[in-house]
Amino acid sequence: MLAAITVVSQFHRSSLGVIAPELARDLALGPSGLGLAGGMFFIVLIAVQIPIGVAFDWIGPRRLVGALTAVAVAGSLLTAAAASEAGLVVARAVVGLGCAAYFMAAVLLCSRWFSGERLGTALSRVFALSQIGNLLAGWPLAALAATAGWRAAFVIAALATAAAGFAFWRVVRHDRPDATDGPPPVPEPLRAVLRGVGEVLRAPGLAPVIAIQTVAYAVVSTVLGLWAGPYLHDVHGLDGGERGQVLAAMTIAQLAGVLVCGPLDARFNTRKRVVLTGGALTLATLVALAAWPRPPAAVAIALLVVLCGVASYGVTIVAHGRSLFPDRLLGRGMTTLNLAQVVGASVMPVLTGAVAAALTPDAPGASTPEGAYRAMFAVIGACLAAGLALYSRGPDARPRPLTT
């Protein structure tokens, strides 16, 4: 069930990418409008992460996920009904609010049931299964949009979201391993809960982890979830079905990368080196996409697939972050880290959309030129390089103590 709700979240996060050209046509969207719509999901997550963390420690993930599912369903229906850029942006905001607890509920519950060197492997399995959501947002969504229309696709997504949320409520019976079927524990007073937020922000070693957390996921979410589809359409002329197949291959590469990366911290007894290695490989791929003028379609596709495979070290960042907080602050601590993630994932689409808009001719129906996409890849790479530089200055968080 943890995988099921993260599948829903990943689908909604990535669902604009493959149908972006159709949305641009039907709703008269330019690059900046697409960037804003893509980032709005994450902008809302920023606004609610601290309250979500408080609610996790106060009422528990089970009840919170159940309540917010209704909001996610409403947002998917609003997406289906969108008639303008403003309508799409509002719909994405509602979907973002509805999915705000899904991802971190999975992280929180894994962190309570698994610890130490077992956590990275457990998280990698959940995260890998969650990539089914990105797969569904690729070729299947493109095919459904081509036959029934993208509006019908989001109605079906609303029904699937409702089913996943209801199943989570029915199947997940406890919020922690030592829970019983008796009455729920009395929550902390609100003042104590808020005081815990201050303790989280003062945790030693938090700043370097926040630096890399801000950019690591944003790289993949911006490329895979927003710009890969338009790039393949505008620069290489791929149709909806072909774009969907490439996005599916990118998602499969990400899934495989997560499964491979998850146990590496336990194998080599280091989290920092795993993150720095994955980040360096990701940066090299972005440099190639930015520096190579109009590469052959096969090369561009290969680079995009490789990018998603090597950028799968986010699970190790989460495990590193988990080591910074005691159990009593786990909900607030992990949502604080997730706040950094969603800040990056909301700002980067808007930033790259502004770059594309500045380099795109101001004419009705004008396609984004190849040079604008290369500039976007360069900006994404610069953000990642800054995050890696700051993270490299922080301490490691080894799964096991070093033996003497």
pLDDT computed for residue 71 by the predictor: 96
% of the chain exceeding 70 in pLDDT: 94
Question: Is 204 within 8 Å of 316 (Cβ atoms)?
Answer: no
Looking up tokens 């989280």 gives 200
pTM, 2 dp: 0.77
Give CA–CA dist 184/186, Å, rounded. 7
pLDDT computed for residue 208 by the predictor: 95
98: CB partners within 8 A, 6+ apart:
68, 69, 70, 71, 72, 73, 74, 75, 161
pLDDT computed for residue 383 by the predictor: 97
Residue 28: phi and psi, rounded to 5, are 55, 50
Alpha carbon dihedral 222, 287, 124, 168, in 10-degree steps, equals 0
Give the confidence band of 363 by pLDDT, cuts at 50, 70, 90.
Answer: low
298: CB partners within 8 A, 6+ apart:
none
Range with the lowest mean pLDDT among 17-21, 159-163, 302-306? Answer: 17-21
Whether 404 has a pLDDT exceeding 80, the answer reads no
Write out pLDDT tens, residues 320-350.
988 888 877 777 788 788 788 878 887 898 8
41-68: average pLDDT: 84
Whether 144 has a pLDDT exceeding 80, the answer reads yes
pLDDT computed for residue 40 by the predictor: 86
Q: Which two tokens stand for residue 180?
A: 């019983």
What is the dihedral sign for C-alpha 339, 345, 350, 352? positive
Whether 204 has a pLDDT exceeding 80, the answer reads yes
Give the confidence band of 45 by pLDDT, cuts at 50, 70, 90.
Answer: confident
103-114: average pLDDT: 84
Give CA–CA dist 73/84, Å, rounded. 20
pLDDT computed for residue 193 by the predictor: 66
Most confident by average pLDDT, 195-204, 309-318, 328-337: 309-318
Give the confidence band of 110 by pLDDT, cuts at 50, 70, 90.
Answer: confident
pLDDT computed for residue 124 by the predictor: 84
Domains, the chain, ordered by start: 2-176+188-391 (1.20.1250.20)
Whether 292 has a pLDDT exceeding 80, the answer reads yes
pLDDT computed for residue 20 by the predictor: 82
